[in-house]
Amino acid sequence: MDDLTLVIGNKAFSSWSLRPWLALKRTGRPFREIVIPLRQPDTAARIAEHSPSGRVPCLRHGDRVIWDSLAICEYLAETFPEAALWPTDAHARAVARSVSAEMHSGFAALRTHMSMDLKAFRPGVGRNAESEADIARVFALWRDARSRFGAGGPFLFGDFSIADAMYAPVVTRLLTYGVAMDGLCGDYARAVMELPAMAEWVEAAKAEPWDIYADERDPQ
If asked whether residues 111 and 186 sit together in one domain, one would say yes
If asked whether residues 106 and 170 sit together in one domain, one would say yes
Q: pTM of the predicted model, to two decimals?
A: 0.94
Give tens-digit pLDDT for 7-66.
Answer: 999 999 999 999 999 999 999 999 999 999 998 999 999 999 999 999 999 999 999 999
What residue type is assigned to position 202 of the chain? V
Residues 6+ apart with CB under 8 A from 53: 67, 68
If asked whether residues 67 and 160 sit together in one domain, one would say no
pLDDT at 219: 37
Reduced to 3 DSSP states, what percent helix, strand and coil does the chain have, rounded to the nearest 5? 55, 10, 35
- Interatomic CA distance for residues 19 and 17, integer angstroms: 6
pLDDT at 90: 98
Q: Is 216 a residue whose pLDDT tops 50?
A: no
- Interatomic CA distance for residues 197 and 195, integer angstroms: 5
Virtual CA dihedral for 176, 163, 157, 196, nearest 10 degrees? Answer: -60
Give tens-digit pLDDT for 171-208.
Answer: 999 999 999 999 999 999 999 999 999 999 999 999 99
pLDDT grade, residue 213 (50/70/90)? low
Q: Is 129 a residue whose pLDDT tops 50?
A: yes
Instruction: For residue 119, tell me if it sits in a domain.
Output: yes
Instruction: For residue 31, tell me if it sits in a domain.
Output: yes
If asked whether residues 13 and 75 sit together in one domain, one would say yes
Instruction: For residue 79, give its domain range.
Output: 4-83
The answer to whether 161 and 99 are in contact (CB under 8 A) is: no
Q: Is 218 a residue whose pLDDT tops 50?
A: no
If asked whether residues 36 and 58 sit together in one domain, one would say yes
pLDDT at 163: 98
User: What distances in angstroms separate CA 148 from CA 91, 155, 185, one per listed residue?
Assistant: 10, 12, 14
